[in-house]
Structure 1
Amino acid sequence: MKGYERVNGEELTSSMEDYLEMVCRMEAEGYPVRVSLLAANLHVRPSSASKMLDNLKAAGYIDFRKYGTIMVTDKGHMEGRYLLHRHQVLHEFFCALNHTDSELEQVEKIEHYINRRTVGNMERMLPFLKSL
């Protein structure tokens, strides 16, 4: 799948998306986002989180200083809002499709490989699926 990311010119890898999505989720919940808390939420080592945050910072999605809080840039907020929206749409779609309360595992497995057009189409189908 990484080959498709590169061919399609995607700036964010699936791992970068996971990190940005979690930073935006934590920020929206009112948490001061620090490397150690982010790492704990993603079940990774702080050193791994720091490396990925360096990549996100270099790409202009976040800003942070060592031992400080992670701040999402305007560019990061734009992409982060979409990532959170995509996650929510997929979760609602699969719950409605499968008549379940949680499809988190399913969403986590596929969310990085569905394009914006497909997410929009799934969102438009939600009222119909929920009515069944």
Structure 2
Amino acid sequence: MSKPAASADRHRRTRNDHAQETAEDYVEAIAEMIAADGRCRVVDLARQFDVSHVTVSKVVARLRREGLVKPDAYAPLELTTAGRKLANESRRRHETVYQFLRAIGVSQRTAEIDTEGIEHHVSPQTLECFRRLTERLER
């Protein structure tokens, strides 16, 4: 593969990875807001992520196209079955990484920040190792 083609592939993969991270963060936030407040609106997500209403609307439109958010554009946001599944997986991964960081002595605030950066980039095998080591450390 030529250098330009290889570079284009890497950049494409990076963009796709970032899009998946965004989807995971948004469905997780939608699920949390619905659980806490009974509803989630675009304005709520804009406030949570400190981004514009337009940015959230674009992400939500993509989540609808991907079948993660129900299609009613005029009602509060609601996850589809696939969206709830992704939100649950994201929440479990988030909790595993956070608990691991706390178990190895990372402060609460730093663990909260670092979890957001790590959770999308670890394999299932690594997550399982985090979980097992956390169990051992907490005994």
Give the TM-score category using the shorter length.
Answer: 0.7 to 0.9
Q: Judging changes above 3 Å, is the alpha-carbon distance between structure 1 residues 3 and 80 closer, same or farther for their aligned structure 2 residues?
A: farther
Partner of 1:89: 96
What whole-Å deviation, never above 9, does each CA across 1:13-41 have from its counterpart, x for those lacking one? 21121111111111222331000011101
Q: Judging changes above 3 Å, is the alpha-carbon distance between structure 1 residues 126 and 94 closer, same or farther for their aligned structure 2 residues?
A: same
Partner of 1:126: 134
Higher percent of residues as helix = 2
Match of 1:107 among 76, 101, 115: 115
Q: Tell me if structure 2 keeps the 8 A contact 1:95–1:101.
A: yes
**1:75 and 2:92 matched:** no
Partner of 2:64: 57
Q: Judging changes above 3 Å, is the alpha-carbon distance between structure 1 residues 5 and 126 closer, same or farther for their aligned structure 2 residues?
A: farther
Partner of 1:21: 28
Which amino acid in structure 2 is aligned with residue 101 of structure 1?
Q
Q: Judging changes above 3 Å, is the alpha-carbon distance between structure 1 residues 24 and 118 closer, same or farther for their aligned structure 2 residues?
A: same
Q: Judging changes above 3 Å, is the alpha-carbon distance between structure 1 residues 130 and 100 closer, same or farther for their aligned structure 2 residues?
A: farther
2:52 and 2:24 map into 1 onto residues whose CA distance is: 17
Partner of 2:54: 47
Q: Judging changes above 3 Å, is the alpha-carbon distance between structure 1 residues 90 and 75 closer, same or farther for their aligned structure 2 residues?
A: same
Q: CA RMSD in A?
A: 2.5
Which amino acid in structure 1 is aligned with residue 58 of structure 2?
K
2:54 and 2:127 map into 1 onto residues whose CA distance is: 33
Question: Greater CA radius of gyration, 1 or 2?
Answer: 2
Secondary structure, in 3 states, of the residue corresponding to 2:67? coil
Partner of 1:98: 105
Partner of 1:33: 40
Q: Judging changes above 3 Å, is the alpha-carbon distance between structure 1 residues 65 and 88 closer, same or farther for their aligned structure 2 residues?
A: same
Aligned sequence identity (%): 23
Q: Judging changes above 3 Å, is the alpha-carbon distance between structure 1 residues 23 and 5 closer, same or farther for their aligned structure 2 residues?
A: farther
1:91 and 1:51 map into 2 onto residues whose CA distance is: 29
Partner of 2:4: none
